[in-house]
Structure 1
Amino acid sequence: MGRPPLALGTAGAIRYYKTPTGYRARVLVRDHDGHVRALERRAATKTAAERALKLALRDRAPALARGELTADSRVSVLAETWYAGLANLSPITLQAYRDRLDRQLLPRLAQLRIRELSVGTPDRHLRDIAQRHGLATARMCRSVLSGMCTLAARHDALTQNPVRALGPVTGRAKAPRALTVPQLRQLRAALTYDDRAIARDLPDLVAFLMATGLRVGEACGLAWGAVDLNAGTIEVRTAAIRVRGRGLVVKTTKTDAGQRTLVLPRWCVAMLHDRTDRLDTTASEDGADHGNRPVFPAPLGGWRDPSNTQADLRDAFAAAGYDWITTHVFRKTVATLMDHAGLSSRAAADQLGHANTSMTTDVYFGRKVSATGAAAVLEALDA
């Protein structure tokens, strides 16, 4: 029976030969095309020849492999290769995947070999992530890990994707928590007496979030050109986001469902009228284009950073006695008010910018109803 061939991408034993000027170290390498090739290096001593040959093997492997992953590659290499190959994704999604790699997956798995990603390994880590960081984070980690393992399987570093053998990440999710109409009125009133919140231009922003259910990035990225006060509508087509390495950018919404036209309650239209009156005075002084200016600019001017805004809002909410509130609570509140008024899950999904009603019904309210429209329901928030 013949000697078994070398595995792809591996080298055999190093052999040494005495030469008139020193030593020659030689090894056979089986490249990823299946061919066996000899590689050798010469030096004055045996140790130096061996060292030179090992360095040549190290430097030669990436060029020959052309990015090929093997079962012995580390998970950190797999993660970076997978991430580098992502395309046609929004900056927000790319940043979310990067965060899951850096914060949850690589600290736990980076030093493992790809062949060590058995079914049990990701299962244990995902269950621990769900317990420590919540179901939403664990589910995104599962998606990232599955993409990585699919790539490894394509490179024959894994026989199959072990993540697909896992069941869904389950657990006890927090029940959606929404504000009541009296609570909304109380919060709006409290902010109008908070000098710090007023200096940060938060009362109008919070009122607008209550009236629309927009994501905070969508509100920060709203320009006056997307507002039609005569019709009482806004067009949601952009969002402000901070992208690592690029800074603050205003980009189109990441899905077609995110681009939508919303009817505003009358009290919200009146509030925006007051803002545009103030803006017209300022615009006449600096000659700026009204339509391209943000509806809710940063306190020092320009587009408002959603991350900084979230921090400012947390301070304001805590001062008002609502330290448990996040901006996402307003989205849940709008969905809940529409649900209680008998509006359909499709109408709520359109209001919030969800492509599928399942997201709206599962996360934002619990029962299906029927009807259409939102502005009339949100009129109730007018104090």
Structure 2
Amino acid sequence: MFRSRCYVRDFDGVVRECERTGRSRAAAERALSTALRDRARIDAHAEVTADTKFAAVAELWFADFQRKDRSPNTLQAYRDRLDKQILPALGSVRVRELSVGLVDRHLRAVEAKHGAGLAKQTKTVLGQVCGLAVRHDALTGNPVRDTSPISTKPKKAPRAFTEEQGLQLLAFLTYDDQAIARDIPAFVATMLATGMRIGEACGVLWRSVDLDAGKLTVEATVIRLKGQGLWRKPEPKTASSNRTLKLPDWCVAMLSLRRDTFEATPERPVFPSPRGMLRDPSNTAADLKDAFQLAGFEWATSHVLRKTVASLLDASGRSARDIADQLGHARPSITMDRYMGRKTVTSHNAKVLEAFG
């Protein structure tokens, strides 16, 4: 396959890369020329008809979408879905040619190749673009609504460390020279003490930690924006992610020692990169994976730490609402479905049912 690309400035002033492929260099250039032509025909007040190319409708929708108050991560993810999954397959299709069958087959192909999570996001973007066409009376109904559902529920029960495994891991990390050089032991310990997301842990500044009160405030997350690098996003993943967590005494002692050992200025990250800057969550996840493998937990990922917190709190009898508040989930149902599926054996229920004896 040959590839042809160029950079264009859309009517909204944003410079984007336009890229198309073809079986020959000439075919790739023709596809790129067609894409540029379709881009040039749309503007903020463009009319969408049944004969409009789907690519033009998609660009019109995205131009309006990015003017709204959206997370940079959401903007980048939806742009990627357009450029990588939707436009290459459906960009040249006329609006009138969109059918439930065509859209459903495309979504099934995306799910088979990239997984249910990405397919569901593709479906969301497709649905919103088709919704724009419906509002312009170019479609009589939204074909995405009648496609078969895409389930993203985990097929296996969530797996977490047991209390004994967690203690074993923490002990092993203190002897792992590579993990120590990467500042992993304290990072893992703090995640087990709080249940924070990895990006939230990377975004904690010393001014967010009140060791006298034994509290830590989650108020930001670190993300990587394409072409811009790392950014400390002031709002975490959801509104419920903004939370203040009470720290266990052992974590307060550990962070107190860390504060006294390192240069702990208010605006400095608690867990900085080797250069003293923001820590990259993706690189940290890879470092954690290396440490887990050396410790004998090849199956574990960084997210297992959050599931461990949820499972231990669940086993102790805490309510789903309490655990959801700890993890920063908007709905307790998310916590129960994805984080509390270990089916641990407990004697609490048996003790209650002793009344029938």
TM-score category by the smaller chain? 0.7 to 0.9
Deviation of 1:364 after TM superposition, in Å, equals 1.5
Q: How does 1:336-347 map to 2 (within 5 A)?
A: 336-347=311-322
Q: Which residue of 2 aligns with 1:173?
A: 154
The CA distance in 2 between the partners of 1:318 and 1:232, in whole Å, is 32
1:232 aligns with 2:214: yes
Residue of structure 2 aligned with 1:332, choices 291, 302, 307: 307
The percentage of aligned residue pairs carrying the same residue is 56
Q: Which residue of 2 aligns with 1:298?
A: 273
- Aligned residue for 2:41, secondary structure, equals helix
Q: Is the 8 A contact 1:90 1:254 kept in 2?
A: no
The CA distance in 2 between the partners of 1:78 and 1:63, in whole Å, is 8
Residue of structure 2 aligned with 1:262, choices 245, 254, 279: 245
The CA distance in 2 between the partners of 1:308 and 1:268, in whole Å, is 24
Q: How does 1:273-292 map to 2 (within 5 A)?
A: 273-279=256-262, 282=263, 290-292=265-267
Q: Which runs of 5+ in 1 are unaligned?
A: 1-57, 284-289, 369-383
Q: Is the 8 A contact 2:311 2:342 kept in 1?
A: no
Code of the aligned partner of 1:81: L
Deviation of 1:344 after TM superposition, in Å, equals 0.8
1:311 aligns with 2:286: yes
The CA distance in 2 between the partners of 1:99 and 1:64, in whole Å, is 21
The CA distance in 1 between the partners of 2:44 and 2:266, in whole Å, is 53
Q: What TM-score do you get using the length of structure 2 for normalisation?
A: 0.78
Code of the aligned partner of 2:81: R
Q: 1:97 to 1:65 in 2, by over 3 A?
A: closer
Q: Which residue of 2 aligns with 1:75?
A: 54
- Aligned residue for 2:270, secondary structure, equals coil
The CA distance in 2 between the partners of 1:325 and 1:240, in whole Å, is 22
Code of the aligned partner of 1:302: M
Q: Which residue of 2 aligns with 1:122?
A: 103
Q: Which residue of 1 aligns with 2:78?
A: 97
Q: Which residue of 2 aligns with 1:357?
A: 332
Q: Which residue of 2 aligns with 1:154?
A: 135
Q: Which residue of 1 aligns with 2:351?
A: none
Q: Is the 8 A contact 2:117 2:152 kept in 1?
A: no
Deviation of 1:166 after TM superposition, in Å, equals 2.7
Residue of structure 1 aligned with 2:117, choices 118, 136, 159: 136
Deviation of 1:278 after TM superposition, in Å, equals 1.0
Q: Is the 8 A contact 1:361 1:367 kept in 2?
A: no
Code of the aligned partner of 2:104: D
Deviation of 1:259 after TM superposition, in Å, equals 0.5
Q: Is the 8 A contact 1:237 1:260 kept in 2?
A: yes
The CA distance in 1 between the partners of 2:94 and 2:62, in whole Å, is 18
RMSD: 2.5
Count of residues paired in the alignment: 303
Q: Is the 8 A contact 1:135 1:173 kept in 2?
A: no
Q: Is the 8 A contact 1:199 1:299 kept in 2?
A: no
Q: Which residue of 1 aligns with 2:167?
A: 185
Deviation of 1:94 after TM superposition, in Å, equals 1.8
Q: 1:297 to 1:123 in 2, by over 3 A?
A: same
Deviation of 1:220 after TM superposition, in Å, equals 0.5
Q: Which residue of 1 aligns with 2:34?
A: none
Code of the aligned partner of 1:319: L
1:251 aligns with 2:233: yes
Q: Is the 8 A contact 2:159 2:342 kept in 1?
A: no
The CA distance in 1 between the partners of 2:120 and 2:83, in whole Å, is 16
Q: What TM-score do you get using the length of structure 1 for normalisation?
A: 0.73
Q: 1:93 to 1:189 in 2, by over 3 A?
A: same
Q: Is the 8 A contact 2:160 2:342 kept in 1?
A: no
- Aligned residue for 1:123, secondary structure, equals helix
The CA distance in 2 between the partners of 1:205 and 1:215, in whole Å, is 11
The CA distance in 1 between the partners of 2:278 and 2:152, in whole Å, is 39
Q: Is the 8 A contact 2:218 2:242 kept in 1?
A: yes
Q: Is the 8 A contact 1:242 1:248 kept in 2?
A: yes
Q: Could you give the per-residue CA deviations for residues 258-304 of structure 1, whole angstroms, max 9, x where no partner exists?
A: 1001111111111111110112xx36xxxxxx111100000121111
Code of the aligned partner of 1:231: A
Code of the aligned partner of 2:77: A
Q: Which residue of 2 aligns with 1:22?
A: none
Deviation of 1:206 after TM superposition, in Å, equals 1.1
Deviation of 1:192 after TM superposition, in Å, equals 1.7
- Aligned residue for 1:250, secondary structure, equals strand
